[in-house]
Structure 1
Amino acid sequence: IPILGGTNCDEEVLTTGWITDSLLTIQVPGIITTTEEFPGKREARTVYVLEVGEKNEKSPEFATKMPTKVNLRGSVSIYSSSSIPAPNPTVRADVHFCGVNFADILACCDQYQERPQLPFTPGMEFSGTVLETGTDVSTVEEGDGVIGLSGFNGVAEECIIDHKALWQIPERVPLREAAALPVSYGTATLALERRARTQPGETVLVTAAAGATVLAVIEVAANVLQAKPCKLAMQRGAQSIVSYGQGSLKEAVGKLVGSGGVNVVIDTVEGDIFLEALHSLAWEGRIVVVGFAGGTIASVLANLLLLKNISAMGLYWGRYQDQNFPLFSRGLSSAIQYCQEGCIQPYIGAVFKLE
């Protein structure tokens, strides 16, 4: 299966097996091609799965050693397994593409808020086709093109997944682009439409404008909500760019939109950038925190919120799947619809094979 890469590649970040920037690109040595054709939907075939974590030699069923930036190469392996039938209420899907997200990288370095039991298979989102369904599953059928939210199980040739975690994709949406929709565009849709309540004509400031989620936010804001939002960001719909390292962010924003400030900030960086963005908000402005790529967490003084009736809020997109599934599903369905209508086009920085 190919792995979707991102916008940049910083070989100094992880030099021992995975090549990644703070968000997106992955490269894993090993073999991922099948050795035989799949003979039938209920007959077993050899499938390959990527696994992270070293097993305890005394208790092989438990893995205790977490990979780090130093030992990650030795902690990543690809193993073969026999495919299994799909029990109720699950679906067995043939994985065509698997996206790689910041959360995957954090989980592999034991820095994510949800720590999967080791060893585990990364890959939160994938696209593919349905091979088999449980007997009571009626939402999808064999041969359907789907995108799936697999937790941490997507980097495998096949995936057994609950039917509620699958969404059908129209034929007009290519599987490659579809794999990049769930996390980035699901986040962008809920951040702008649900949390920030962005209205047409409002001004949106997005921090870190070259990351996958940020490009998704820019596209949805500019092309769907008609909001006023590096060259890549401009290509995706941004109208102006501000470089953080060249003076005050607040002053730069003021030159672009006037002293009134921006209506909405979607922040993926945190730290000092968050605080400067907070000061750039207009009366009754809203700032939504969706990540902390900068590595530091900012503290907010309540009086800053009071003076201009500002709202500061967070977005943990994945929690909506458990806490408010109808809203979660509508957000992802909207992203699929936007892609089908041509309003958005997921940016694919690179595609790698697991070999």
Structure 2
Amino acid sequence: MRSYQIQAAGAAPELIETDLPEPGDGQVRVAIRACGLNFADLLMQRGTYQDTPAPPFTLGMETAGIVDKVGTNVTHLKPGDRIAVYSGQGGLADFGVFDAERAIALPETMSFEDAAAIQIAYGTSHIALEHRARLRPGENLLVTGAAGGVGLTAVEVGKLMGATVIAQARGADKLAVARAAGADHLIDADEDLRERVRALGGADVVYDAIGGDVFKAAFRATNPEGRLLPIGFAGGEVPQIPANHLLVKNLTVIGVYIGGYLTFRPEVVRNSFETLFRWHGKGRIKPHISHVLPLDRVAEGMGLLKERKSTGKVVITP
């Protein structure tokens, strides 16, 4: 089988031939049909992601496919079952072995590509906005990087939750994608973010995937008692938050890391995925997938993320 693998620390990933893995106790082997790419995959290649596995390991955090073989003590899954797995690694391959407890059955109406695109991006946004920020109908939600993999889902989920969505992205094409997802107001990355948001009534909740100066501007446009969600740092700079300003405006900065819930409250992730899969079945959400590429073009897909040439998700189909 083929596997897109990092074999040593600091080494570039390679598509190599490996042995077919065998599932152990409590595990399943999956014939992978789709794997979503994430910015975290790029960080893992640099060794800077908080959960980078020790090499050698196969990249690919969110997968969907068909159960090929089950290990011992697995009773709720059988060969032929269609499942999604938030695996954290191992998805960019023809086959993968994963813990059975992380698998979620796929509705017959959901494609493998959609299943691979929903988990991390929609899961992060849903948990951030519903479970952590407690976004309320009628509030102003500012989403930065609103045409990216997670930002676009925040626009969609925020609108479903009844918020007025202010979307910031770079260029008319990306802003059009955000509008199609439900954004009420659009701000180009070249505009003065603080002044534009304040003119729209300020932000009650900020969902920021960029960091750096963008976060600083959003911070200054946040209303008293607002909540800020630093989701990612695609701009490269982790913002430093002035605690005295938090005090004066009664602001709350809320950390959100979906992978962390798998270790201390996995039911939060499972409940979120089940909600999202129901929404998908009812046509309330539809992943925006800008590129679908075969496994032998995964490096090209990573390049699209790195150069910010994709919108929504890039999905690899082994």
TM-score, structure 2 normalization: 0.86
Q: Does residue 345 in structure 1 map to residue 306 in structure 2?
A: no
Q: 1:123·1:153 contact (CA, 8 Å) conserved in 2? A: yes
Q: Does residue 242 in structure 1 map to residue 196 in structure 2?
A: no
Aligned length: 287
What is the aligned partner in structure 1 of residue 24 from structure 2?
87
| Uncovered stretches (5+) of structure 1, i.e. residues with no partner | 1-46, 54-62
**1:307-336, CA deviations, whole angstroms, 9 ceiling, x for partnerless residues?**
221111211111011011111211122121
**1:250-282, CA deviations, whole angstroms, 9 ceiling, x for partnerless residues?**
211122x23xx1211101111111111111112
Q: 1:204·1:262 contact (CA, 8 Å) conserved in 2? A: yes
CA distance in structure 1 between the partners assigned to 2:34 and 2:133 by the alignment = 31
Aligned residue type for 2:147: A
Matches within 5 A, 1:158-307: 158-222=95-159, 224-229=160-165, 230-246=175-191, 248-255=192-199, 257-258=200-201, 261-307=202-248
CA distance in structure 1 between the partners assigned to 2:203 and 2:20 by the alignment = 54
SS at structure 2 position matched to 1:198: coil
What is the aligned partner in structure 2 of residue 48 from structure 1?
2
Q: Does residue 332 in structure 1 map to residue 273 in structure 2?
A: yes
* Offset at residue 151 of structure 1 (A): 2.0
CA distance in structure 2 between the partners assigned to 1:268 and 1:109 by the alignment = 19
CA distance in structure 1 between the partners assigned to 2:145 and 2:292 by the alignment = 22
* Offset at residue 214 of structure 1 (A): 0.5
Q: 1:218·1:233 contact (CA, 8 Å) conserved in 2? A: yes
Q: 1:49·1:81 contact (CA, 8 Å) conserved in 2? A: no
Residue identity (%):
34
Query: Cα RMSD over matched residues?
Result: 1.4
* Offset at residue 123 of structure 1 (A): 0.2
Matches within 5 A, 1:4-153: 47-53=1-7, 63-64=8-9, 66-67=10-11, 72=12, 75-84=13-22, 86-153=23-90
* Offset at residue 114 of structure 1 (A): 2.4
CA distance in structure 1 between the partners assigned to 2:90 and 2:42 by the alignment = 14
CA distance in structure 1 between the partners assigned to 2:52 and 2:271 by the alignment = 27
**1:231-258, CA deviations, whole angstroms, 9 ceiling, x for partnerless residues?**
0100111111112322x21211122x23
CA distance in structure 1 between the partners assigned to 2:18 and 2:250 by the alignment = 57
**1:47-97, CA deviations, whole angstroms, 9 ceiling, x for partnerless residues?**
2222223xxxxxxxxx35x13xxxx3xx4132132343x332111111000
**1:200-236, CA deviations, whole angstroms, 9 ceiling, x for partnerless residues?**
22110001111110111111111x2021101010011
Q: 2:3·2:92 contact (CA, 8 Å) conserved in 1? A: yes
What is the aligned partner in structure 2 of residue 155 from structure 1?
92
* Offset at residue 138 of structure 1 (A): 2.5
Pick from 254, 261, 286: which aligns with 1:313?
254
CA distance in structure 1 between the partners assigned to 2:18 and 2:198 by the alignment = 57
SS at structure 2 position matched to 1:314: coil
SS at structure 1 position matched to 2:164: coil
Aligned residue type for 1:50: Y
Q: 1:98·1:155 contact (CA, 8 Å) conserved in 2? A: yes
Q: 2:93·2:295 contact (CA, 8 Å) conserved in 1? A: no
CA distance in structure 1 between the partners assigned to 2:145 and 2:130 by the alignment = 20
CA distance in structure 2 between the partners assigned to 1:326 and 1:241 by the alignment = 35
TM-score, structure 1 normalization: 0.78
CA distance in structure 2 between the partners assigned to 1:97 and 1:291 by the alignment = 24
Higher helix share: 2
Q: Could you say which structure has the larger radius of gyration?
A: 1
What is the aligned partner in structure 1 of residue 314 from structure 2?
none
CA distance in structure 2 between the partners assigned to 1:281 and 1:310 by the alignment = 8
SS at structure 2 position matched to 1:82: coil
CA distance in structure 2 between the partners assigned to 1:209 and 1:335 by the alignment = 19
Q: 1:104·1:123 contact (CA, 8 Å) conserved in 2? A: yes
CA distance in structure 1 between the partners assigned to 2:21 and 2:145 by the alignment = 41
